[in-house]
Amino acid sequence: MPTGVDLRAEIPRLRHYREHAVIKIISASADTYITNRVISTQLRATDANVGAAGTLDLFKLYNESTLSGDPTPIELTRILLKFDLEPIRKLTGSLIDPGSTSFKCKLKLKDVYGGSPTPTNFTLDLHPLSKSFDEGVGRDIIRFDDIDVANFLTASYGSGGPLLWSGIGASAVGAAGSAAIDIISTANFGSGLESVVAKQTLTGPEDLVIDVTKIVSATLAGFLPDCGFRIAFSGSEETDDRTRFVKRFASRHASSPSKRPQLEVSIDDSVRDNHANMVFNTSGSLFLSSISRGTLANIVSGSAAVAITGSNCMTLKLTSGSYTRSYNVSQATIGSIPRTGLYVASLAVDRFTAPLFSHLKTTTSASFTEVWGSNDGTVGYHTGTLIINTPEANSYKPQTRSLYARVTNCKAEYTHEETPRFILFIEDLDEKVVFSRYPRENNGSVYPNVHYSVKDAVSGDVVIPFMTSNDATRVSSAEDGMYFDFHMDALTAGKTYEFRVLVRDLGEELVLDGVSPKFRVS
């Protein structure tokens, strides 16, 4: 295969590659709770609205009031929530694949303790709504004197007048697409009916953090209507002979923005390039990025400029002395979404093959020429050098590494609209120092499993946790070090934050605090 010219200046590997760590925090666009609270011996507040209240209250009262005609009245509330999914739709097809196994959506409500008793050991059910609701402007949560929609009887108000719930209290339940229902319990996504109800059991004063990935994915795909959610006590907990008073969450009208309802959307889009830490007999991935005039662009072939895309669209050849091997190269993806201008080869090089084995008897590494080119071997797109090391072998030392980590380019302030790239430098302080007569750039070490987290620099509260279950906070690696991009709109403006990192290494988890200067989001 002709190696062509070295296109490193025009097609660098990942040195200038830019991608967005996708963690989006979406605030509620509407929220309220509806109630049938008894307010006199003759009347329930079924037409009351509390859409502008600062809290979302869940309670169930059994025989706590006197109501004419009902010897054991039950009074209860149900929460209604709506989030604008447009920010996710805009990224669907480019940075977000709702069908990816790493795509996660969590609905978060912050507990508000107001000195009242709190119920213990109860379960909440979250159903997708089948009807849209109006938030309303009511505020009275004592006497429930404000009349507006939504309420226990009415969902919204249209041009033809009020639009009622099919069942009082938004209680009519059925399969997606059914007529005359308020909430959805099951849906058919192509393989029969399955439940779309999300549940969480609470012991008492904790926040609500409930996985709504299936519901949001199905809504984005058009299987479910985009009307929001209903949260209520589960099943018989609404009808038994126990009182549960009162579980209170902050609403979107709460004075503190950090307490308001959130939909946390995340996906793993990290790039783990092993150019800096490739090891013999261990699977690794090598990436190539194609940049044209400062923008990621697919490599084109031939005078017709046909874009090189898809699986096995290119070949990577590694050569060292008489050793030569070729590997398939495919376009990189996020889930099933192709990444423009980014290619990957996954491989493992066997140190015990004859040409390499004799060489590696006297050294711990080997240098390879890498050529990225067309499958027919006629065109070379990039030529470079790859060093592969033998696995590390040392005398046993029952101790963890002593690591120093620092975000080297963190500014003092960022705007809410920025998505900066942060460079993460990690160094093992116990590593032997190698002296050289020539200056050398120290980009730190590349560790294969590192996550970042964000905490409030004043309160110490964790705002963005280590998302290890779906790797949404995983730090990317490249030929020249480690990095991650971060959407500042995931943080509350006007507050000060700092990063911390989690390093999984040698079978242990090391959490390093204060790895960045404090920064403010405006």
Residues 30 and 178 in one domain: yes
Q: In what order do the strands lie in the sheet with 183-188?
A: 173-175, 183-188, 193-195
Q: Is residue 273 part of a domain?
A: no
Residues 291 and 254 in one domain: no
Q: Are 497 and 455 in contact (CB under 8 A)?
A: yes
Residues 240 and 316 in one domain: no
Q: What pLDDT, on a 0 to 100 scale, did the predictor assign at position 488?
A: 95
User: H or E element: which one contains 247?
Assistant: strand 244-250
Q: What pLDDT, on a 0 to 100 scale, did the predictor assign at position 1?
A: 39
Q: Are 369 and 389 in contact (CB under 8 A)?
A: no
Residues 408 and 371 in one domain: no
Residues 407 and 495 in one domain: yes
Burial of 464 (0-12, 13-18, 19+ CB in 10 A): buried
User: H or E element: which one contains 217?
Assistant: helix 213-220
Q: Is residue 274 part of a domain?
A: no
pTM: 0.88
Q: What pLDDT, on a 0 to 100 scale, did the predictor assign at position 15?
A: 39
Q: Is residue 153 part of a domain?
A: yes
Q: Is the peptide bond before 246 cis (omega within 30 degrees of 0)?
A: yes
Residues 41 and 176 in one domain: yes
Q: Are 167 and 127 in contact (CB under 8 A)?
A: no
Residues 385 and 460 in one domain: no
Beta bridge partners of 390: none
Residue with tokens 């072998």: 393
Tell which of 237, 266, 295 closes a domain.
266
CB atoms within 10 A of CB 345: 20
Phi and psi angles of residue 34, each rounded to the nearest 5 degrees, phi first: -115, 150
Q: Are 122 and 201 in contact (CB under 8 A)?
A: yes
Tell which of 236, 266, 296 closes a domain.
266
Residues 218 and 292 in one domain: no
What 3 state SS string does 418-447 have?
CCCEEEEEEEECCCCCCCCCCCCCCCCCCC
Calculate what percentage of the chain has a pLDDT beyond 90.
83
Q: Is 501 helix (H, G, I), strand (E, B) or coil?
A: strand
The whole domain housing 306 covers 284-389
Low-confidence ranges of the chain (pLDDT < 70): 1-22, 395-400, 433-436, 438, 440
Q: What pLDDT, on a 0 to 100 scale, did the predictor assign at position 93?
A: 82
**Among the listed residues 184, 180, 290, the one whose alpha carbon sits nearest the alpha carbon of residue 228:** 184
Residues 362 and 442 in one domain: no
Q: Are 127 and 210 in contact (CB under 8 A)?
A: no
Residues 162 and 296 in one domain: no
Burial of 402 (0-12, 13-18, 19+ CB in 10 A): exposed
Q: Is residue 203 part of a domain?
A: yes
CATH code, domain with 407: 2.60.40
Q: Is residue 396 part of a domain?
A: no
Residues 93 and 204 in one domain: yes
Total structural domains in the chain?
Answer: 3
Write down the H helix ranges in 312-428: 354-359
Beta strand residue intervals within 93-147, DSSP E: 104-109, 122-128
**% helix, strand, coil for the chain, step of 5:** 5, 40, 50
Beta bridge partners of 497: 456, 519
**Among the listed residues 194, 156, 155, the one whose alpha carbon sits nearest the alpha carbon of residue 176:** 194
Q: Is residue 504 part of a domain?
A: yes
Q: Are 62 and 38 in contact (CB under 8 A)?
A: no
Q: Is residue 397 part of a domain?
A: no
Q: Is the peptide bond before 30 cis (omega within 30 degrees of 0)?
A: no
Tell which of 354, 389, 424 closes a domain.
389
Alpha-carbon distance 149 to 134, whole Å? 6
* Residues in CB range of 98: below 8 A, 6 or more apart: 88, 92, 216, 217, 220, 221
Residues 88 and 214 in one domain: yes
Q: Is residue 14 part of a domain?
A: no
